[in-house]
Amino acid sequence: MKTPKIKDIKVIFTEPDNIRLVIVKVLTDQDGLYGVGCATFTQRPIPVKSAIEDYLKPFLIGRDVSNIEDIWQSSYVSSYWRNGPVLNNALSGIDQALWDIKGKMANMPVYELLGGKSREAAAVYVHTSGDSNEEVGDKMQAYMEQGFHHIRVQVSTPGYSTYGNKSAQTGKNTAKNKDVSKGPIPITSWIKEYDTKKNYAHPGGIFEPKPYIRSAISLFDYIRNRFGYGVEILHDVHERIPPILGVWFAKEVEKYQLFFLEDLFSPEDNEYFKMVRAQTSTPIAMGELYSSPHEIIPMIKNRLIDFIRIHISDIGGITPAKKLAAMGELFSIRTAWHGPGDTSPIGHAANLALDINCYNFGIQEYSIFGEKTKEVFPGYPKIKDGMMWPNSKPGLGIDIDENLAKKFPFKEREYGGAWDTVRRSDGSMVKP
């Protein structure tokens, strides 16, 4: 039988719910046969589009769609220098689309191509945050009533900004501290200008490590007193605290039995994880910022993490992700693929294919899809009883409605859509 060849590769930009998404469509020379993949790097979408249209497309047109591994390997080194979020997202969009095509050709879902089901559905965790412990607790209560058993909890730090709570991140709670017994007093002359977003990139507010840590510990204590230990709570440090404080924090929270503590360090501080491992059993999750195998392999090999938090499109798609999951299994490390709002529903469907197949699945992050997003992506993964359920459609089981996607073009953004610039009270930069 003549195998279909790649006839065209299209990049679709769309932001139905104000998050810039990058989708790839691989068209074949067989009428009606195409695949879709996620290549979303929401802070830098244009270079991803160029990496696909100007380089991978001319490299791949005419190739036999069935040879996913060979296409991945040859594309990976076609730039000679490889890795990094731009080249890997470009590669991911094509890779996921090829798995989608292969499933359609075989008339089976991708999780079947990978070896079938290890589970019927994937437990997910959802995000709660608030300006007070009580507000976070109330949101947790509402989610638990909907059947969610795993919940990420983030709370504002009084007088400062913090990651994970919208109001704090946009500066509402930032730079208000006036009591040195609570933490450093932000430099006011500088702050006035800063907070008005006049001369600085997108402000992430003023962050101070110790006040943040005290707020987080107070939140965990509140939650365990209010709900006990039955509900699973997760927390994302988001790499903002000095590493040695991270070591202390991981030890201090052990008694609250977190499901995992995420991004305790920046990737640049990976070496500190050895100290954490030697001193505490708090479960560690790391990986969303990794965009090279050299970052994640040592973490698995040395059992420095418990959950692989890789953002699948940032490492090149399903093909590398399934290999990392398999490596993790050999070291009893579980998967927890990154699944924020800047993973498209197609990316979530790719996560789900691996969640359903992999024996060492841990948990799936789920950032609730906006209503417009659901319309643009028919077949988006459904959530019920705190779990994400696969459909039985062939391939990734999802599509993009291109006409509808066109109704949500990328908006102009201040500062080029940069990620928050977070600063300490003295104005020095903090890794975000």
Residues making contact with ligand GCO (CB under 6 A): 42, 236, 238, 288, 340, 342, 365
Q: In angstroms, what CA-CA distances link 118 with 28, 102, 318, 352?
A: 32, 21, 17, 12
**Smaller CB distance to ligand GCO: residue 295 or 365?**
365
Question: DSSP per residue over 33-72, as a string?
Answer: -EEEEE---TTSHHHHHHIIIIIIHHHHTT-BTT-HHHHH
Name the minimum Å distance from CB 80 to ligand GCO. 28
Nearest residue to Mg ion, scored by beta-carbon proximity: 236
Choose the catalytic residue: 34, 125, 160, 366.
160
Rg (CA), the chain: 22
Name the minimum Å distance from CB 238 to ligand GCO. 6
What's the CA gap between 250 and 262, in Å, rounded?
A: 10
Choose the catalytic residue: 235, 238, 311, 348.
238
User: Among ligand GCO, Mg ion, none, what does residue 100 contact (CB within 5–8 Å per kind)?
Assistant: none
Nearest residue to ligand GCO, scored by beta-carbon proximity: 340
Active site residue 222: no
Name the minimum Å distance from CB 12 to ligand GCO. 19
Active site residue 294: no
- Cβ atoms of residues 391 and 379 within 8 Å: yes
User: Among Mg ion, ligand GCO, none, what does residue 342 contact (CB within 5–8 Å per kind)?
Assistant: ligand GCO
Number of H helices, E strands in the chain: 16, 16
Name the minimum Å distance from CB 152 to ligand GCO. 8
267 three-state secondary structure = helix
C-beta contacts of 222-231 below 8 A and 24+ residues apart: 222/133, 222/134, 222/136, 222/137, 223/133, 223/136, 223/137, 223/140, 223/153, 223/256, 224/256, 224/257, 226/137, 227/137, 227/140, 227/144, 229/257, 231/140, 231/144, 231/149, 231/150, 231/151
Strands 21-28 and 34-38: antiparallel
User: Which residues of the shown chain bind Mg ion in the complex (CB under 5 A)?
Assistant: 236, 288
User: Among Mg ion, ligand GCO, none, what does residue 162 contact (CB within 5–8 Å per kind)?
Assistant: none
Name the minimum Å distance from CB 342 to ligand GCO. 5
User: Among ligand GCO, Mg ion, none, what does residue 208 contact (CB within 5–8 Å per kind)?
Assistant: none
**Smaller CB distance to ligand GCO: residue 5 or 431?**
431
User: Among ligand GCO, Mg ion, none, what does residue 96 contact (CB within 5–8 Å per kind)?
Assistant: none
**Smaller CB distance to ligand GCO: residue 198 or 411?**
411
**Smaller CB distance to ligand GCO: residue 238 or 348?**
238
Q: Which residues are designated catalytic?
A: 160, 238
